[in-house]
Amino acid sequence: MHSLFDPSSPQARAVAGLWWWMLAVGGTVWLIVIVAMLWAAITRRQRRLSSDLVRLDDTAHVRTERVVTIASGITVAILIAFLAYDFTVGHALAQHPLRALTIDVTGHQWWWQVLYEDPDPSRQLVTANEIHVPVGVPIQFKLRAADVIHSFWAPSLNGKKDLIPGYTTTLWFQADTAGRYRGQCAEFCGLQHAKMAFYIVAEPKPKFAAWLAAASQAPASPSDPHLVYGQRVFLSAGCATCHTIAGTQARATVGPDLTHLGSRETLAAGTLANTRENLLRWIVDPGLWKPGVHMPAVPLSPPQQEALADYLESMK
């Protein structure tokens, strides 16, 4: 769900209401203007270009003057009504809740880093591209950019807010119904602007709490030798140079955090569905799916690739 037409938060619903109202009024105005124009053009039409000018008629002129003045007055009235409605909605949206779950989102070329704030720094949870939120709770996002300007936008939940280097911006909403909401970067940010999506997964509070607890746990060390081999590939073949997996020595923050990658539904910022086959394809040549992506193709043999993919998918 990613559309203004499917609002799922009080914020998006208010804007959708504003939109439908503006559409109705604006459409009516357009219709009246066009009908007036066509009526004049058709009923008063003459077929042949004549050199005769129209005789100026004072009464008609005065009457028309009155009509034009009234039409202009109505325009002003409509605009004032627009303005008042917009201010009301805008003001309501601008009020930040006092208590909210705070999530830091940092935009990178071309993925999203997500951090769940916690007063205890060791309990802060870092993940990427998939943001779980509880239903019915106001969520505040603190938005930052690591490189260029991005824009955080999940149409079903709220309008967008830019992530600008040197600034921290904020946005908040409260999801009403459980569901997966697609969002996408809305500010042109380079080669892969088109493939910089994210998902907001709204869940009932208990389910969210369970997810948070699970996600905060480092995945268990693998015991299956195949998976152990996969982990060794991850740690020594170059993956760990950029990625983090909690509970291992991989602690780099250049690329997305891959802890619990197996539990995510998409790969590469919403580019591919998260299946083992797709993960393999992605590892073999990321540039094929996202030309220009900063992740390199790591030279691995097929058994190494398979073990690596199985290891990553095993971390649910």
Considering the complex, state which of residue 132 and residue 150 has its C-beta at the smaller distance from another protein. Answer: 150
Distances (CA, A) of 244 to 36, 75, 240, 312: 65, 58, 7, 12
Q: Are 140 and 97 in contact (CB under 8 A)?
A: yes
Residue with tokens 């208010």: 14
**Shortest reach from residue 68's CB to another protein, in Å:** 5
Q: Which is nearer to another protein, 174 or 184 (CB)?
A: 184
Could you give the residue ranges of the DSSP H alpha helices within 95-152?
none
CB of 216 to another protein, least distance (A): 27
Question: Which residues have C-beta within 8 Å of that of residue 218, sequence separation ≥ 6?
Answer: 246, 247, 248, 259
Q: In this structure, how many other beta carbons lie within 10 angstroms of the beta carbon of residue 204?
A: 13
What's the min distance (Å) between Cβ of 260 and another protein?
23
Closer of 143 and 215 to another protein (Cβ): 143
Q: Which two tokens stand for residue 81?
A: 């009504």
Q: Which residues contact 92 (CB under 8 A, 6 or more apart)?
A: 14
Which residue is listed with tokens 């077929």?
47
For the CB of residue 218, give the shortest distance to another protein in the complex, in Å: 23
The pair of three-digit structure tokens given for residue 36, joined into one six-digit string: 């007036």
**Cα pseudo-dihedral 66, 71, 75, 81, rounded to 10:** 90
Report, in Å, the least distance between residue 178 CB and another protein.
19
Smallest distance from another protein to CB 213, Å? 31
**For residues 276 and 313, what is the distance between their CA atoms, to the nearest angstrom?**
7
Quick one: 211 or 282, whose CB is closer to another protein? 282
**Minimum distance from CB of 211 to another protein (Å)?**
24
Give phi and psi for 113, each to the nearest 5: -95, 135
User: Residue 6 or 117: which CB sits closer to another protein?
Assistant: 6
Q: Which of 258, 266, 274, 260 is nearest to 215 (CA)?
A: 260
Alpha helix (H) residue ranges in 197-301: 205-216, 225-236, 276-284, 286-289
Give 71 or 212: the residue with its C-beta nearer to another protein. 71
| Residue 215 or 308 with smaller CB distance to another protein | 308
Nearer to another protein, 33 or 210 (CB): 33
Say how far residue 300 (Cα) sits from the centre of its chain.
34
Which SS3 state, helix, strand or coil, does residue 67 take?
A: helix
Instruction: For the CB of residue 149, give the shortest distance to another protein in the complex, in Å.
Output: 6
